[in-house]
Chains A and B, each alone.
Chain A
Amino acid sequence: MRIKSLKNNIIIYLLLFSIVPLFIASTFILYNAYNSEKKNIFYKHNQFLTQALDETDTLLNDIEDIGVYLKDRYPIKKHGMVSGLLRVGKNINTVMILNNDGILVDFSTSTKKNNIFIGYDYSNTKYFKAIKNGAKRHWTDVYLSLENHIPSISYSVRIDKDTIAVLIVNLKVLDNFSKRFKSGDGSTMIQIIDKNGIYISNLQKPETVSQRQNIHDTDLFTLYDIGDDSYKQIQFLDEDKKENIAIFGISKKLNWLIVIQENYNFVFKTYYSNLRFIILFAFVLISLSIYFSFKFSKSILRPLDEMSEKMDDVSTGKTVEEIKYNQFTELRLLSTNFLLMQSKLKDREEQNRLKDKQLHESSKMAQMGEMIGNIAHQWRQPLSFISTAASGMKVQKEYSILTDEKFYNYCDQIVEHTHFLSETIDTFRNFIRDNKEIREIILQNEIDNTLKVISSSLSNNYIRLLNKINYDTEIKMLMSMGELSQVIINIINNAKDILLEKKIESPYIEIELYTIDKKVIIAISDNGGGIPSEIIEKVFDPYFTTKHKSQGTGLGLHMSYKIITESLKGKIYVQNTKEGAKFFIELPLEN
């Protein structure tokens, strides 16, 4: 499981739960407002488009009506009628009457510069050829008019079998019509493009018409080319790379493309101004929520921080008296429980300390008992000899057989044995006195001294002590030998107890001393059958014992473990051999 910071988690969740809903709500509002604005624009554009398509067709129908009128009246009224038509039909720039060979027989034009004449041959023009080839009426694409040198369209119609009328339409008519469709920014909203993609009305960019520009080279063409998108809202970049929002439709009469468009930035001006306000408002709200999130999290985390600090104090052994900032019930309960727990821990610690002290005392007493037992063993023989010598002298004196020589001999032996007793006392006294004193020692000698203390206890129980200490090189160390001796004696006593308990035949305890890889190894083994595998891991645990309560405290090996690992910075461990258990004490040679 990944460890997380409660503090960071609380802050993240507070921020998430305050910012995300606000963000989602703002986005939702803005998205809906945008869509609603787009729909409104679409409805407006759609209304304009329908009107524009109707009016365009009406305009073209009006011109066709003039053709019908000519058809009815021209054969009767002739030229006077043609010039009159221009005064009435403002949409028409020039009226030409061609004969069946395409020769101009009559005309009237509003063009100031007169460069057409009766007799001109128009037989190669599209408008003549179409009628000549059988069409009853014909609308041309945009072309450069010979009459006025501007882009024009014309409508030709057969009047009778010998006569064809050509009406040249002034594209300015479309401009006049387009002027009515204005956007709020004053721009004209309408563009009219013929079926070949040539602009025929674009007041915003009149040069597109005068230069007969083609929408093939514009962004709009891609949309126009799709065709199916008519009456759908589209967005495109115009020639000035400005974004436009538009819809387009195709007029029925001449398949003209009529685009109703407005500058995107202008129509969404109000929306974007509201957007800025909403974003600012959301920003303020988010800032406030961040501020309050931090403040709230701080108010929660401050007592937690304090409690964490107090726990740190407790872990370093300090005592916590009180915890402040507990305005929250749950935290107050937590801190009260914490203080209660601290108090209980202190009590338990005190109890354990007392128990440890008692156990230590018991251990010490047991050690003392052991020591006294050893002294008793040491003393028994010399005391017996002194007693026998004294009794022998007394009996021989009574029977007057005590010679001077015998007397001196007895006295010398008594003195010798009392010296031995005195030495024994010195040995034990030194052993107890040097218990914690750190000094330079020769390890072999010191272990020998330790073994002396315990040797008689072993021999009295017929346990052989096999000394396999390597005396070749003196091992000098700076250490408290008393602590090490205590460990060695402890292990040997445990071995002795097992050997006796199991009544092992030919019992022995073997001690080895050698160095390996800058380490000193003291190995103590026995032939007591070893430690059961299920408890071998626990032998160094405190209060663990296999002995009867009256015999063992369960502290001996634990104390030994603490001395070796903590005081002498070494290692102690046990393994089973074929014969029995083998304890290893590893000490760093630097010691």
Chain B
Amino acid sequence: MSSRLRNIVVLCLITILFLGCSSEKKEELNIGFVAGLSGKYSSLGISIRNGFTLAFDEIDYVINNKKITIIEKDDKQNTDDAKEAIEYFVKNDIKLIVGNATSAMTKISHSLLKNSKDTLLISATASSSEFTQKKDNFLRIQVDKSSRSNEKLVDYIVNKKFKDTYFIYDSNNKSYVQDYQIILQDLIVKRGGKVFFKNIDINQPYEVIQKEIQAKKDDLIIIVANSVDSASMIQFLRLQQIKSQVICSGWAKTYDFLENGGRAIEGVLFFTGYDDNSEDLSFLKFKKYYQLKYNKKPSVFAAQGYELGKLLIQELEKNKNISTLKQQILQEKVFDGLQGRIIFNEYGDVTRDYFFMEVKNGKFVKK
């Protein structure tokens, strides 16, 4: 073989080799995201998703040269869809799952993944005490509805000496509702308060609810439901000339609530760990980016989604192994959030100061 022929052959081989190498795929990390993204529960899920994806948007979906893909699934606040989503993630070997938005759905995912020790389920908003003080593969940045976090709320209710308490709840999110129904009620009773006068499922026709509620001005109405249902219910109650003090769960604290509630929601109280009007620099910065991308104000859930995204990015930069990610987070223990620090205990439960916010002139205002 002449040197020229040899050179041509070598050149071809190098080209093939080069093409072979260049077509090599970039390493990828798939993150599952599951929440209620459609229907009346979507206000919460979409807020978390928007905040969460914004954090990854900022890093162009790349961590340590690894392409990050977020695979979204809609649990529709429905058991079957939630199961289907988790089964999909398991089948596709997705080891890091962010979700769910509500405690009821998180409970389903949590139970399906309890044997998948190498998979980490991490939620931005699930607050049920069912997940408290457990050494498992679950983590959240939301404060649990424990006795301690409810103290101020109980103080308020007991001190105000409401006559009767009407408890309106969404039966589709039982895990979350139960914390109010059992823990909160127990605490109130222990402090000399009364057992809830009536427990009413918000999913019933309004005509039925109308018959159930005979509240007076000195009664208390606690609503544990999503923002759209809560706003609509309060409008309905005010139309029925029910002037009782209303306390809504943090679940409803979105801009959809303000928009749909009109003046009927004026004076409604929320017991929450997030201040929509926070002047914290990192929160203001987040708000600015969020508005730039989505052309609307972020809810506190969007902020929680963003916080979770930032925390995961920070930790994934240090650790490739998902199975040890929780351990690593718990070891580091303290993280900077958008409104103060997020502090994990040894089980991965978070502590945060809770305070009241009131709707005033169509806005959430710290009380």
The chain A residues found within 8 Å of chain B, CB to CB, are 4-5, 8, 12, 102-103, 114-117, 119-126, 141, 143-144, 146, 149-150, 196, 207, 210-214, 216-217
Contacts and interface: CB of A to CB of B under 8 A. Distances in A.
B122 to A, nearest CB: 20
B228 A146 contact: yes
Contact of A217 (B38, B57, B235): B57
B40 to A, nearest CB: 4
B53 A217 contact: yes
A144 B40 contact: yes
A119 B239 contact: yes
Given A8-B2, A8-B4, A149-B39, A121 B46 contact: no
A146 B42 contact: no
Interface string B231-249: 1100110110000000000
B151 interface: no
A375 to B, nearest CB: 67
28 contacts: A4-B4, A8-B5, A102-B262, A115-B206, A115-B232, A117-B206, A117-B235, A120-B239, A120-B262, A120-B264, A121-B238, A121-B261, A123-B263, A126-B259, A141-B295, A144-B42, A146-B260, A196-B295, A207-B38, A207-B74, A210-B37, A210-B74, A211-B72, A211-B74, A212-B42, A212-B46, A216-B293, A217-B53
A144 B4 CA distance: 71
Contacts, number: 95
B277 to A, nearest CB: 17
A97 to B, nearest CB: 15
Contacts of B53: 216-217
A21 B293 CA distance: 53
Interface in B248-297: 256, 258-264, 293-296
- Nearest first, the 9 closest Cβ-Cβ pairs linking A and B are A121-B262, A211-B37, A210-B38, A149-B40, A8-B2, A196-B295, A146-B260, A119-B239, A124-B362
Nearest to A123: B262
Interface size on B, as a range, is 35 or more
Contact of A149 (B228, B236, B238, B263): B228
A115 B256 CA distance: 16
A216 B259 contact: no
B50 interface: yes
Contacts of B264: 120-121
Contacts of A114: 206
A211 B85 CA distance: 15
Nearest to B2: A8
Given A12-B5, A214-B50, A217-B53, A117 B236 contact: yes
A146 B262 contact: no
Interface in B295-343: 295-296
A216 B57 contact: yes
Nearest to B207: A114
B223 to A, nearest CB: 14
Given A144-B40, A146-B228, A121 B263 contact: yes
A122 B260 CA distance: 6
Given A123-B263, A210-B38, 4 more contacts: A144-B40, A196-B295, A210-B42, A217-B70
A398 B238 CA distance: 194
B295 A124 contact: no
A559 B290 CA distance: 106
B43 A144 contact: yes
